[in-house]
Amino acid sequence: MRKDIILNTGNTQIYSKLLLAAILILATAGMWGATARVDYTWRWERVPQYFLYKGEEAHKAAQDAKVARIQPQGKSTAVTLDYDDGTQEQFVVDTDALKVTQGETLFGGDTVGFTSSWHVGPLIKGLWVTFWLSGLSGILGLALGLVTGLCRISKNYTLRGLASLYVELIRGTPLLVQIFIFYFFIGTVLNLDRMVAGVGALGIFAGAYIAEIIRAGIQSIPRGQMEAARSLGMTVPQAMRHIILPQAFKRTLPPLAGQFISLIKDSSLVSVIAITDLTKSGREVITSSFATFEVWFTVAALYLIVTSLLSQVVFWMERRLSVSD
Amino acid sequence: MIDARNVVKTFHGRGQVVRAVDDVTTAVTKGEVVVIIGPSGSGKSTFLRCLNGLETFDSGHIVIDGMDLAAKKTDINLVRREVGMVFQQFNLFPHKTVLENITLAQQVVRGRKPAEAEETARKLLKKVGIAEKEAEYPARLSGGQQQRVAIARALAMNPKVMLFDEPTSALDPEMVGEVLDVMKQLAREGMTMVVVTHEMGFAREVADRVLFMDAGKLVEEGIPSEIFSNPKEERTKIFLNQVL
């Protein structure tokens, strides 16, 4: 009997996997067909240079000079110029890009040679901006959310009212509009940098949602925990810090992770106030590469990498915190 | 040690006013073991919770070790340090190990050094008979073991009074004994105790005095032999007939 059941589940699993594979293959084929229809030429080879590229830097004589010495040192070469005013300058350039010979007379502005080095492209720069923009606004959001969440369950009517107002105001208006208000109105009044405005708008937005998550987390802890802590003589802040918040944190970790993932994605909206985050970099790259489809897919993949890394970190934390279950 | 005078506690709910504790006056002297019995909803737990300020009361006075809970300037946290409480649902801190459960308040409230707090904790764990479980989390202990940890946690603060709120009601029958044994030992050592319980055997054996409460009122009090064999009030008789 039991063997039958196991065999059955085994078969079902195989069928399910086959079905999944079939759907994925169909979806890919569909996309393939769709792009073939619009006659789009894929140029994936254009994308890597926007991550990392080799740039050449020209080294030029400052004024009229004579090439005094050329000393090859393997891949690079040291060139010494005698300037007409009696001073000397030494250049180190790549040997294969050396443009002068021994004893040659140069005019000011003539190129002595080139050096090449690796530079990070706009996509990596944009990714980095997105990374710290979401990081900073996440910290701001967490701090705001913790304070607001605590205010929401406070006995003080004023604090409770202010906290509810903040949450309702932020949750009830679109983030895009908030970013505009923050940048054009508050930013102008307080003379804020666009980065500060971006971080502020995102952090305040996330704070409203985090406040509700934290309030729910605290309220989900049985009343007996607070009573036990108070009966031992702890004050409310002590009980919060040592007993309630650590337990609430563990419970709110999954929804908090969701909120932070949302925040990373929502940070793409700050591109409207000309912050060069990953999305804006993507748009800029498209103007020079004309590889619209490829760049957007790449940008999406970069977001996906960051968010799934965060998911993994949270998963790891959840596992660590579950030792007491 | 405890002096309660005319304590009244009301609950307001759905248009009704319930007098949960109705004009209760009693005193507990040092070293005395007082057991409060009575039917469910008679206000005995509420009265007990008033004794360490977990419930506020509407009128009357509760004076514990010279500190009046009704006085505005009394720091309730100072009172609670001296009053240990054991709950029906144990209320151990699930995210802390057994040892941390006992050391935390010692460090945070009493300001003891970790080594000193751990020494106290280990001594108490040995006393309640579960020294080997110090590194476990509460979820891995049986109910009886959890309740003994909870007793050790309260004792670690060196309280002058211990309050027990139905400490065995949430336990499987075979674990009731181990918890009662610890409580009996405490009583023998001269701890001042106020116990709300349905364990009539414990009341009869250990109590110096038994209070019978019904509908918020303190109906009758006396030494166990008097109350159990020769109750004066009709309500006490009915209740004891039902439970014994």
Number of folded domains that form chain A? 2
Q: Which positions in chain B touch A222 (Cβ < 8 Å)?
A: 89, 91
Q: What is the pLDDT along chain A (325 residues), one digit of tens a residue?
A: 455 555 556 678 889 999 999 999 999 999 888 888 888 888 888 889 999 988 888 888 888 888 888 888 888 888 888 888 888 888 888 888 888 888 888 888 888 888 888 889 999 999 999 999 999 999 999 999 999 999 999 999 999 999 999 999 999 999 999 999 999 999 999 999 999 999 999 999 999 999 999 999 999 999 999 999 999 999 999 999 999 999 999 999 999 999 999 999 999 999 999 999 999 999 999 999 889 999 999 999 999 999 999 999 999 999 998 887 7
- A157, A171: one domain: yes
CATH code for the domain in which residue A160 is found: 1.10.3720.10
What dihedral angle (degrees, nearest 10) is formed by the CA atoms of B100, B101, B107, B109?
170
Q: Which residue has the tokens 């009980």?
A: A239
Q: How many CB pairs under 8 A join A and B?
A: 71
Nearest to A324 among B81, B110, B139 (CB): B139
DSSP A264-305: HHHGGGGGGGT---HHHHHHHHHHHH--HHHHHHHHHHHHHH
The pLDDT of B42-46, averaged and rounded, is 92
Evaluate if residue B153 carries a pLDDT over 90.
yes
Q: Answer yes or no: is A68 within a domain.
A: yes
Looking at chain B, the whole-number percentage of residues with pLDDT higher than 70 is 100
Domain that holds residue A253: 122-323
A318 touching chain B per CB within 8 A: no
Q: Tell me which chain A residue has its CA closest to the CA of residue B100.
A: A242
- Interface probe for B, chosen from A231, A244, A245 (most Cβ of B below 10 Å), is A231
A238/B95 touch (CB, cutoff 8 Å), yes or no: no
Distances (CA, A) of B35 to A73, A256, A290, B192, B227: 96, 47, 85, 11, 11
The two three-digit tokens of residue B133, written as one number = 């479980």
Would residue A18 count as lying in a domain?
no
Cβ separation B108–A242 shorter than 8 A: yes
pTM of the model: 0.81
- What pLDDT shows up at residue A324? 79
Per CB-CB distance under 8 Å, the chain B contacts of A325 are 137, 139
Q: Is residue A7 part of a domain?
A: no
Q: CB distance from A252 to chain B under 8 Å?
A: no
Is the CB of B93 less than 8 angstroms away from the CB of A231? no
- CA B75 to mean position of chain CA atoms: 20
A28 close contact with B: CB closer than 8 A: no
Quick check: is A174 in a domain?
yes
CB atoms inside a 10 Å sphere around CB A2? 6
Together in a domain, A208 and A77: no
Q: Are A155 and A217 within one domain?
A: yes
CB contact under 8 A, B154 and A232: yes
Q: Does A60 touch chain B (CB under 8 A)?
A: no
Is A212 within a domain?
yes
Task: Give CA–CA dist A131/A264, Å, rounded.
Answer: 8
Residues A238 and A102 reside in one and the same domain: no
Task: Let me know whether A319 and A230 are in one domain.
Answer: yes
A86: left (phi over 0), alpha (psi -120 to 50) or beta: left
Domain boundary among A93, A117, A141: A117
Domain final residue pick, A74, A90, A117: A117
Co-location of A92 and A163 in the same domain: no
- Name the closest residue on chain B to residue A247, using Cα atoms: B95
CA distance A228 to B83: 12
Whole-angstrom Cα distance, residue B187 to residue B91? 23
**How far apart (Å, rounded) are the C-alpha atoms in residues A182 and A87?**
55
CATH number of residue A94's parent domain: 2.40.50
Asked if the Cβ–Cβ distance from B153 to A247 is below 8 Å, we say no
Q: Is the same domain home to A73 and A160?
A: no
